[in-house]
Structure 1
Amino acid sequence: MRPRTTTRTNWIVGSVAAAVLVAGGITAAVAATDGSDSGGPPPSSSADAGFARDMAVHHQQAVEMSYIVRDRTDDEEVRRLAYDIAQTQANQRGMLLGWLDLWELPKVPEGAPMEWMGMGDAPAGEDGALMPGMATNAELARLGELKGKKAEVLYLRLMTRHHRGGVHMAQGCVERCGVDVERRLARGMVESQESEIALMASMLKARGAGV
């Protein structure tokens, strides 16, 4: 059996490589649509740019949490879910950052998180989390300390909350974004993450835990 560190390294490398390939393809697709519906790239203050920046950050934490739990449990169901989430969100993050490159816009948020949704003055997530739904540093550290069923339950709870925040943000893009292909990606995020929320609820129930 290979050491976990080697397995995790291969998993990370695979996610990054996939994200780079997908980002290249999606950048070409966006270039073919000539940016926003009004023609040309969206401005830095637009919902399109704000969503790309904020969701890239949001996705990065989901990938990180999935890497953590994969090393804390041998349960194949949870490891498979974590792998799927990490692969999907790493790829989508590559798309979002690829669009920002194409539009020649900064990748670092210029204002408060989710300001493009009219939430710039709203509090961040719970206990200092950067955005609603995101885990705190203390929660991530706790996840890294647990093993087995306890790690599984905490991961499923944190990811359920994380997905709910992601769905809220993606719905904001569906309503506000001007780039058609970006709206389609956001709709896909809503559908897939709502499906995973339902799956995680059943997984928590099977482990005798609630959300």
Structure 2
Amino acid sequence: MEKPVRNPILIGCGVLVLAVAAFLLFGRGGTPGDTSPEAGFARDMATHHAQAVDMAFTIRDKGPAAEIRNLAFDIINTQANQRGMFLGWLQQWELGQATDQPTMAWMSGHGHGAAAPGLAAAAATSGAMPGMATPQELTRLKDAQGEQAEVLFLQLMIRHHEGGVQMAEGLLKLSTRPEVVSMAQKIVSGQSGEIKLMTELLRLRGAQPYPSIMKSQ
């Protein structure tokens, strides 16, 4: 039985295609490339965290109840530190903080695993980060006072955390890079716990969270 003839030119082209794809995805030295889920997650989550920190500062400066103030401090410290890590990764990977890639495009998969389902896939299509407060909502929070401000903060932050959890869960479906996976797992665990706490704080104030965006997954 004759062995199949292999065209060395075709084989060489195939290897070249694979090499180019690997470079685009992971960049030099096996680090994530500009279009990778890891880079997209780092950029988008840095923006997502920045808004959470901004909202936490807003409520902190209003002199809220002790439990709200403590929560705000925790969010500021945790998410500011995590944001620094995201930006540090990008610097380490020799990637810019800004990119031509659309917001949330990384959640479509880019050949690095299946696209995240439900709302995550919709976010990848629309380019909107889940859970983000609108400019109008941020203005309402800045103008609110007393318990009204506390309730609005909790409602906005619960929805914001739900979006953060979905983004982190989306990354876990697309990446196996240890430091990024570890951070995503911490976000899922930490923010899920804070959602439960904030829901209870709302109950004590006779209020309810906004309809959960998690149900759309």
TM range (shorter): 0.7 to 0.9
- Check whether the contact 1:73–1:147 (CA below 8 A) recurs between aligned residues: no
Aligned mate of 2:106, from 116, 122, 126 = 116
Name the counterpart of 1:89: 79
Larger RCO: 1 or 2 (CA < 8 Å, sep 6+): 1
Name the counterpart of 1:195: 193
- Check whether the contact 2:41–2:171 (CA below 8 A) recurs between aligned residues: yes
Identical-pair percentage? 48
TM-score by length of 2: 0.75
Q: Is 1:169 the equivalent of 2:164?
A: no
Q: For the structure 1 residues 158 and 140, does the alpha-carbon distance in structure 2 shift closer, same or farther, using more than 3 Å as the test?
A: same
Aligned mate of 1:181, from 174, 179, 182 = 179
TM-score by length of 1: 0.77
Q: CA deviation at 1:43?
A: 0.8
Q: Is 1:41 the equivalent of 2:31?
A: yes
Aligned mate of 2:55, from 65, 80, 89 = 65
Alignment partners' CA distance in 1, 2:126 and 2:74: 31
Structure 1 unaligned blocks of 5 or more:
1-35, 125-129
What amino acid maps onto 1:172 in structure 2? G
- Check whether the contact 1:47–1:116 (CA below 8 A) recurs between aligned residues: yes
Counterparts of 1:70-149 in structure 2, within 5 Å, are 70-118=60-108, 119=121, 122-124=125-127, 130-149=128-147
Alignment partners' CA distance in 1, 2:63 and 2:146: 5
Tell me the C-alpha RMSD between the 2 structures: 1.7
Runs of 4+ aligned residues of structure 1 deviating over 4 Å after TM superposition are none
Instruction: Count residues in correspondence.
Output: 170
- Check whether the contact 2:52–2:160 (CA below 8 A) recurs between aligned residues: yes
- Check whether the contact 2:57–2:76 (CA below 8 A) recurs between aligned residues: yes
Q: String of CA shifts for 1:148-171, please: whole Å, max 9, x gaps.
A: 100000000000000000000001
**Secondary structure in 2 matching 1:122:** helix
**Secondary structure in 2 matching 1:176:** coil
